[in-house]
């Protein structure tokens, strides 16, 4: 049997490796249009921050390991242009110009996502960068090494924009950030967003929210971002306004798309065509809290979905249970974490949300090193269910979020969560963990 994979990153290589492990006689072919496979994309901002580190340190497993040790026919520099579901074949072109046709019995579409590039003049100027692929990271790093970069402008204020803000500041670069919409981290509770914004500004970055951007132009030896606000001059401009699923190939093959134009898959990761699977940043998923399809492109679910595809392809029927939207990032010393629904998302999903926001402490009463831990909890007035959580703080937010994440998977009531026997010791929190204090207050608000 022939198993063909389009895309050699997290989902694609997870699936290829596991399928080959499950069934050594399976013929596994992976087409990857770039030269890179299996790297830690999320690690790029931290790597870029440190001039001593090589970007290739982020490669988890080299292409030759997949080929020589695992027996995977991995073809980098091969771009698939057409999926032909009826003939069971893919067609494309290699970077050397040769055309190829490859038949499949089972196909995995793991084409990932791409950065959104606004349709504005100047996006193609030298020094205007995006960050998604390892090649993007290489370009940014090379640019920083070969140019004198003292000022950076970042268009966008999402988590990649903020991680890159930290990376630039670490390298001694003055950063200005700009976005058209007026609210900083709009999905966060305003009090929590203010904590994050305060941290970023305290480290010297300047934030311009609510500034419409009309283009980028050359200005002397550098660049100028033209916007409603002040003149933003820079030696490098990073465009980080979000990502979109790479689903055109799938759509052209007639595969159904779901929310945000991601490839629609069922719980076995099967698309609308029964021999074709999709996984990773190009595919959608079920949200455990709402039951709806969602598109939340994150690394863990990509790896997990890749494994599940491998199991299904090799005759071990597997379903993925879906996501709850757990995500975390760090900007400077501030940890920002979320799981589940915001009140707005909860309303849209038909719940009657109640919410609380508290500012708790990261350590016990009178324990040195105490900092503020902000916690938002969201519950449903009708059913009593816990619906979501957000946390921001200098310590303990990132790992704490996993407790409400598990509670969401279990469909716990707020009342049940409030009764959980959580860990306590003075260096790690108050007797009543801020999550429990928030849950107790949410019970009253409901």
Give buried/exposed letters for 341-376 (b at 16+ CB in 10 A, else e).
bbbebbeebebebbbbbbebbbbeeeeeebeebbbb
User: Using CB under 8 A, which of 5, 37, 58, 72 touches its own copies?
Assistant: 58
User: Using CB under 8 A, which of 46, 100, 143, 332 touches its own copies?
Assistant: 46
Return the biggest CA–CA distance within the chain: 70
Instruction: Return phi, psi of residue 48, to 5°.
Output: -65, -30
Alpha-carbon distance of 34 to 48, in angstroms, equals: 20
Residues β-bridged to residue 179: 209
**Catalytic annotation, pick one of 42, 165, 227, 420:** 42
Under rule CB under 8 A, residue 232 binds its own copies: no
Token readout for 382 is: 């009708």
Q: Closest approach of Cβ 436 to its own copies, in Å?
A: 8
| Contact set for its own copies, span 190-209 (CB under 8 A) | none
- For residue 35, the SS3 value is coil
The answer to whether 206 and 175 are in contact (CB under 8 A) is yes
Q: Which residue in the block uniquely carries the two structure tokens 């990773």?
A: 280
β-pairing, 206-209 with 174-179? Answer: parallel
Q: Closest approach of Cβ 75 to its own copies, in Å?
A: 24
User: Using CB under 8 A, which of 149, 241, 375, 405 touches its own copies?
Assistant: 405
| Contact set for its own copies, span 23-42 (CB under 8 A) | 40, 42
Under rule CB under 8 A, residue 422 binds its own copies: yes
Give buried/exposed letters for 300-322 (b at 16+ CB in 10 A, else e).
ebbbbbbbbbbbbbbeeebebeb
Under rule CB under 8 A, residue 324 binds its own copies: yes
Under rule CB under 8 A, residue 299 binds its own copies: yes
| Contact set for its own copies, span 362-401 (CB under 8 A) | 364-368, 396, 398-401
42 in active site = yes
> Of 66, 262, 44, whose CA–CA distance to 133 is shortest?
44
User: Using CB under 8 A, which of 123, 194, 206, 298 touches its own copies?
Assistant: 298
Q: Which is nearer to its own copies, 181 or 267 (CB)?
A: 267
Under rule CB under 8 A, residue 410 binds its own copies: yes
Q: Which is nearer to its own copies, 384 or 426 (CB)?
A: 426
Token readout for 116 is: 């959104």
User: Using CB under 8 A, which of 137, 280, 297, 325 touches its own copies?
Assistant: 325
**Which residues are catalytically annotated?**
42
The site for its own copies (CB under 8 A) is made up of 10, 40, 42-43, 46-47, 50, 57-58, 60, 288, 298-301, 303-304, 320-330, 335, 337, 339, 364-368, 396, 398-407, 409-410, 412, 416-417, 419-429, 431-433, 435-436
């Amino acid at each position: 049997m022939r198993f063909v994979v389009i895309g050699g990153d997290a989902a694609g290589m997870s699936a290829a490796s596991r399928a080959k492990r499950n069934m050594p006689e399976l013929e596994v072919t992976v087409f990857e249009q770039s030269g890179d496979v299996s790297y830690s994309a999320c690690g790029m901002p931290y790597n870029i921050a440190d001039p001593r580190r090589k970007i290739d340190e982020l490669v988890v497993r080299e292409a030759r390991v997949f080929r020589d040790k695992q027996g995977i026919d991995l073809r980098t520099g091969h771009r698939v242009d057409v999926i032909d579901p009826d003939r069971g074949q893919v067609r494309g072109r290699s970077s050397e110009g040769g055309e190829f046709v490859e038949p499949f019995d089972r196909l995995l579409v793991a084409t990932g996502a791409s950065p959104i590039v606004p349709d504005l003049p100047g996006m193609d100027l030298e020094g205007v960068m995006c960050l998604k692929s390892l090649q993007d990271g290489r370009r940014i790093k090379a640019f920083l090494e070969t140019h004198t970069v003292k000022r950076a402008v970042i268009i966008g204020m999402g988590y990649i924009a903020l991680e890159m803000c930290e990376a630039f500041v670490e390298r001694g670069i003055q950063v200005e950030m700009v976005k058209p919409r007026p609210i900083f981290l709009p999905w966060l509770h305003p009090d929590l967003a203010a904590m994050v914004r305060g941290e970023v500004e305290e480290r010297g970055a300047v934030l311009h929210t609510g500034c419409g951007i009309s283009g980028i132009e050359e200005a002397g030896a550098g660049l100028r971002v033209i916007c409603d606000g002040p003149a933003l001059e820079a030696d490098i401009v990073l465009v980080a306004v979000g990502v979109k699923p790479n689903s055109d190939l799938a759509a052209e093959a007639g595969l159904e798309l779901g929310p945000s134009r991601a490839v629609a898959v069922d719980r076995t990761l099967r698309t609308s065509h029964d021999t074709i699977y999709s996984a990773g940043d190009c595919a959608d998923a079920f949200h455990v809290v709402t039951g709806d399809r969602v598109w939340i492109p994150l690394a863990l679910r990509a790896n997990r979905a890749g494994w599940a595809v491998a199991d299904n392809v090799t005759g071990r029927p597997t379903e993925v249970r879906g996501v709850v939207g757990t995500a975390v990032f760090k900007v400077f010393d501030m940890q920002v974490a979320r799981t589940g629904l915001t009140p707005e998302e909860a309303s849209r999903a038909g719940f009657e949300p109640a919410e609380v926001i508290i500012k708790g402490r990261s350590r016990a009463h009178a324990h040195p090193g105490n900092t503020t831990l902000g916690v938002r909890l969201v519950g449903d007035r009708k059913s009593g269910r816990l619906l979501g959580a957000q946390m921001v703080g200098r310590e303990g937010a990132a790992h704490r979020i996993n407790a409400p994440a598990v509670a969401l998977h279990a469909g716990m009531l707020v009342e049940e969560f409030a009764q959980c026997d959580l860990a306590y010791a003075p260096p790690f929190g108050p007797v009543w963990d801020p999550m429990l204090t928030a849950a107790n207050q949410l019970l009253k608000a409901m």
